[in-house]
Amino acid sequence: MTHQSLKCNKAAILLGGHSSRMGGQPKFLLKDGKGQSYLKRQIKALEKADRIYLSAADAAQLALIQNVYKDKDCYGLIDVVKDCGPLGGLYTVLQQLKDEDEWIFVTACDAPELTESMVGSLIQMSADAYEQGYDCMVYQDSRGRIHPLCGLYRPSLLPAIQQMLRYKDYKMMHLLIRSRCLIVSSAEMGIPDTCFVNINTPEAYERWKNTSLNMPKEQKILCICGIKNSGKTTYIEKLLKEIKSHGKSAAVIKHDGHDFEGDRPGTDTYRYHQAGAAATAIFSKNRYMINADEEIDLQQLINGFSDVDVILVEGMKQSELPKIEIVREKISRTLSCCGKNLIAVVTDCEADFDGIEKWPLEDCSRCLNYLLQGGLRY
């Protein structure tokens, strides 16, 4: 199955059981600080899916939502095996795909910070994962915690789930152990740990509701790669102007694989640095600049630009972040970056790049559309 023919256009939200720890209040109907329900937030994050399954414990639970979301391409399901937790919901969902070999994104209703980028990053990796024989793909956060209910699953797992249900083993982590599971680092994808928050108690709900008004906006992150003189800076300049013209803000982080001088000779801050200052800073009412002799990683820099819509990273060609590579015929005709999450090759070459999508070098509209549309490939 090729990158082009692999299907991944369905999603599922597991509505959960009886919410005993929430006093019986359905978690999917809880609202954030702006009055938006968990379920509505998740459906918004999954809106590019052709079909969203809502897996309910029983008919009464399903009745609470079927009229509200019937116009959102959502389809209600009732768990075919009762009281088995999320494993039973996953089994019910995968039964819908048993005659097809395709991925489906699965999440739980108590994860209200789900974003388009969390879904899209996995989908960008799904073709390679399929070719390598994986049955599922899930995230691992920066603390090492694995999140089974934020991932892609295939119907190939049905025999393993049936066996687990037969022996009353309902633990999702045991399913991952039994399967060929690809663990994806959320930090490598630029996804903060706050996106994996789960709300299971009234106390946790109140804390989250009070902070949800101030949660950082979702960002699109893209690496612009290419060898020296390939045209990265020129392309980024054009892209920045287009992003701004569409009312969006952007930041650029440049990675230097060697080292660089962070200030200009002759300035006061340069002299302070030469005199031994470990760090210098200069600021006015309009801008500031910090120059420090210390190690810093990309995630720290990304966290410092939490208010912008798009972060462009020049370089980092060996990272697993979503990336494009610029290949200019006068300079090179081959790729130099890591193939993981390579979205497209921006080029003026006629050559084929192993089936990877090609975007024109002189026109950044394809890249702009990718960023503004969320970077998802449902």
For the chain, the distance separating the N- and C-terminal CA atoms, rounded to the nearest angstrom, is 16
Whether residue 48 is annotated as binding a ligand: the answer is no
Give the long-range contacts of residues 27-33, CB within 8 A, separation 24 or more.
27/109, 27/110, 27/199, 27/200, 28/65, 28/109, 29/64, 29/65, 30/112, 30/199, 30/205, 30/209, 31/209, 32/112, 32/208, 32/209, 32/212, 32/213, 33/209, 33/210, 33/211, 33/212, 33/213
Whether residue 83 is annotated as binding a ligand: the answer is yes
Whether residue 16 is annotated as binding a ligand: the answer is yes
Whether residue 50 is annotated as binding a ligand: the answer is no
Whether residue 358 is annotated as binding a ligand: the answer is no
176: number of CA atoms within 13 Å, CB side? Answer: 18
- Tell me how far apart the alpha carbons of residues 374 and 115 are, in angstroms, rounded to a whole number: 10
Residue among 342, 141, 357 nearest 224 (CA)? 342
Helix (H) or strand (E) holding 244: helix 232-245
Whether residue 312 is annotated as binding a ligand: the answer is no
What are the binding residues for GTP?
A: 14-16, 27, 83, 110
What are the binding residues for Mg(2+)?
A: 110
What are the binding residues?
A: 14-16, 27, 83, 110
